[in-house]
Amino acid sequence: MFINLSMLIEQFMIEQELKGNSPKTLKYYRRSLQYFIDYVGDKPILDITLLDLQQYALNIKNRPKYINHPFHPQGETPITTTSMQTYIRALRVFLSWLYNEEYISTEFNKKFRLPKATKKTVEVLTEKEIKTIFSSLNIRTVTGMRSACLCALMLDSGLRLGEAIGINIQDIDFSRGIIKVLGKGNKERIVPLGVQTRKHIIKYITKYRGMHDTDKLLMSIEGIPLSQNAVKQIFVRLREKTNIEKLHPHLLRHTFATNYLINGGDIFSLQQILGHTSLDMVKRYSHLSASFLMRQHKYNSPLDKLYSN
């Protein structure tokens, strides 16, 4: 019996859902594997070769940035190696599943490896840019106050976009200054909440949010929980309003992490706040904050200043 690729992808997706993977992870697998089947065709699984995989990887490598993106115009340059890794990683998970379930006898992953990602410097917002963002928001309106809450949650508590819009009001302990956050892999963690962020949220709830059937904190004008696409559109408008071209939701999280270390926080506490399972993802922030401190020392060294006069 010849089993086509599409049938096995469906079986794989069912098993991933039964494992308890988040809707976002399921969407990521579905989209990535659809790209693969669009390229190689819905052929019998036993007809898939290493050459198919390598040619697909080359096709991904040469794709332009932001192809079919809802908010960005298609770029002229190819996607980054980090983006390429993202697509290939999903395919490798699927190939591993096929081998373990004995649908294929070749362990492709031994030869079909992830490309090396180019190390990128993590960008952060300056203090002036942070002030520009908040001053551009009209907090005397529903949408302005809601956007201020959203930005504060990501900038002051280091939340991911999906985590911020997933917060329920009952998850917030205002007296203790903490939030219960549901992160990647449906793992709960406790995250600190600053005084100013609490003030924003309390004002939004009491004055602007209104009454709804759901306990979700951030609501759309239509009375439904704020979606990821809606947030991305908010940031498109914020970029235009502030002229901060690099502005995107995750940049606020990067800015939080870097400033947390600059201001004396330790890397292990930061790992817990960000919800990372290993220190590897957190170490890039320590390198960045070290560079910042070196620059600050260059201009503020007491001894250098003394001898320059």
Domains and CATH numbers, the chain: 5-110 (1.10.150.130), 127-300 (1.10.443.10)
Give percent above pLDDT 70 in the chain.
85
Please say if the pLDDT value at position 161 is more than 70. Answer: yes
Residues 66, 78: contact at Cβ < 8 Å? no
Q: Taking the mean position of all CA atoms in its chain, how far away is CA 114?
A: 20
pLDDT digits 0-9 by tens, 3-21? 889 999 999 999 999 988 8
Over residues 229-237, the mean pLDDT reads 92
Task: Return the closest-CA partner of residue 152 out of 168, 171, 133.
Answer: 133
Confidence of residue 76 (pLDDT cuts 50, 70, 90): low
Residue 234 has a pLDDT of: 94
How far is residue 93's CA from residue 131's CA, in Å, rounded to a whole number?
43
pLDDT band (50, 70, 90) for residue 153: very high
- Which pLDDT band holds residue 309 (cuts at 50, 70, 90)? low
pLDDT at 125 over 80: yes
pLDDT above 90 covers a percentage of the chain that reads 46
Q: Is the pLDDT assigned to residue 274 strictly greater than 80?
A: yes
What pLDDT score was predicted for residue 266? 82
pLDDT at 297: 61
- Please, are residues 248 and 151 in contact by the beta-carbon 8 Å criterion? no
